[in-house]
């Protein structure tokens, strides 16, 4: 796994051994960032269920202004810290070790909102819809913002979750990325 483009291009990222994390493959990541390219430049990013920090780091490397990486697992948190230091992007990234629902509520209380929100939760564990609802209820997505949700093909997501509408979906093998934005 590596940073594909931008300032930290080519930097190899560390990952946990075993099946505790499932980092986004380079092929899926390249496709995801091709779709999001217009929104990345100077955008503020939130990477939920960050794992290795792969998506947030890639966004900063490609020109996003700032990223919050949220992960509650201490081992993953330490890997993210190593990866951020290795890429020399630490001045534009804040790592938060916390449950994503608590983090979303705190961002809402502080009035923080984001251009792009990445969600790559553990597959088939029922996190996605409650997380989308929490994002909506706490108003942390900017009006023109987008949420990119990586999930298993067996995890069929609705076309609408509260004020969020699924605007597109892309399939890559057994992985799907669903994109949500606020209803116009």
pLDDT above 60 for 19: no
Q: Where do runs of H (alpha helix) occur along the chain? A: 26-40, 54-61, 74-87, 100-110, 128-137
What pLDDT, on the 0 to 100 scale, is given for residue 121? 94
**0.85 exceeded by pTM:** yes
What pLDDT, on the 0 to 100 scale, is given for residue 22? 61
Beta-carbon contacts of 180 under 8 Å, excluding residues fewer than 6 positions away, are 132, 146, 147, 149, 161, 164, 165, 166, 167
Q: In whole numbers, what is the pLDDT of the chain averaged over residues?
A: 93
Boundaries of every domain in the chain:
26-182
Q: Does domain 26-182 have CATH number 3.40.50.150?
A: yes
């Amino acid at each position: 796994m590596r940073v594909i483009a931008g300032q930290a291009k080519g930097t190899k990222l560390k990952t946990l051994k075993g099946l505790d994390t499932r980092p986004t493959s380079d092929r899926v990541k390249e496709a995801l960032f091709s779709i999001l390219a217009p929104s990345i430049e100077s955008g503020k990013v939130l990477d939920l269920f960050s794992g290795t920090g792969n998506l947030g780091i890639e966004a900063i490397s490609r020109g996003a202004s700032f990223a919050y990486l949220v992960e509650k697992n201490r081992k993953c948190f330490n890997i993210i810290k190593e990866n951020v230091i290795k890429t020399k992007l630490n001045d534009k990234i804040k790592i938060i070790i916390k449950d994503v629902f608590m983090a979303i509520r705190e961002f809402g209380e502080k009035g923080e909102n984001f251009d792009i929100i990445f969600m790559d939760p553990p597959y088939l564990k029922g996190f996605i819809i409650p997380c989308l609802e929490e994002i909506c209820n706490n108003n942390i997505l900017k009006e023109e913002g987008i949420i990119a949700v990586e999930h298993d093909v067996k995890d069929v997501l609705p076309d609408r979750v509260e004020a969020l509408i699924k605007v597109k979906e892309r399939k890559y093998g057994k992985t799907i990325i669903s994109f949500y934005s606020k209803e116009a």
